[in-house]
Amino acid sequence: MRFRRPEPRPEAVADPTRGFELRGVSHRYGDRPVLADVDLHLTEARIGVVGANGSGKSTLARLLNGLVVPTAGQVLVDGLDTRTAVREVRRRVGFVFQDPDAQIVHPTVAEDAAYGLENQGVPAAERAERVAEVLARYGLAGHADHPAHLLSGGQKQLLAIAGVLVMRPARVVFDEPTTLLDLVNARRVARVIDGLEQQVVVVTHQLDLLDGFDRVLVVDGGRVVEDAAPRPAIAAYRALMERR
């Protein structure tokens, strides 16, 4: 029996104007459905996602950079399918998690900030330059050689953000970035998000974080039940929560 070598997959070409496209997306963990028939096209600069715990919003966020591949449907980032071009998708889409302790993987601040660049094969000199620049931008330059576990909660979240932004992604997804922070640090992180040039998707319970956003999605029971500007979307979300 002779095997034929599979045809090489044609190189996917990215179109940066297309943003995120979710086409008929459903997802389930085992027997438990978490998202059902989601169709979205996200091109706005600032997009918020709100919803109750367990509504499916974190899964929605994870679909956007291929951390989760949908059980049905298709997720495209700039035209690249997260199922077939996941590495290229992850280079384009940074992801910041709720708990920075789970995201910081190296013992010291500068080493951790450099991790993503090492993975991309960025030369040492350029790596050093970019790490120094990003640490300075987020007020961590004086902590470059400090153990990461000795940073405050706010500084850890800034390091987690720095470790993503140093990779210069075109889009950044934040999954509840301020949930574990006090008011001062939550505001610092909000200012950082506000100042980003990249397209940003923020999953959050902190509704004032969405002031000035272009679009807010309300997720409930695995479906997008409201998709509007922040004011009407948040009003709909409050009404939804009050009915429970």
Which positions touch other proteins (CB under 8 A)?
62, 65, 67, 87, 90-91, 94-95, 97, 99, 101-108, 110-121, 124-125, 127-128, 131, 144-150, 163-164, 167
Q: Which is nearer to other proteins, 141 or 228 (CB)?
A: 141
Rounded-to-integer distance, Cα 72 and Cα 98, Å? 26
DSSP string, 137-194: HTT-GGGTTSBGGGS-HHHHHHHHHHHHHTT--SEEEEESTTTTS-HHHHHHHHHHHH
Closer CB to other proteins, 99 or 214, in the complex = 99
Sequence-distant (≥ 6) Cβ neighbours of residue 45 within 8 angstroms = 199, 200, 214
Nearer to other proteins (CB atom), residue 30 or residue 212: 30
Shortest Cβ distance from residue 138 to other proteins (Å)?
15
Alpha carbon distance 62, 227 (integer Å): 19
CA separation for the pair 52, 218 (Å, rounded): 9
To other proteins, the closest distance from the beta carbon of 82 in angstroms equals 12
**CB of residue 103 vs other proteins: minimum separation in angstroms?**
4
- Is residue 146 a contact partner of residue 109, using CB atoms and an 8 Å limit? yes
Provide, rounded to whole angstroms, the least separation between the CB of residue 235 and other proteins: 32
Q: Which is nearer to other proteins, 49 or 162 (CB)?
A: 162
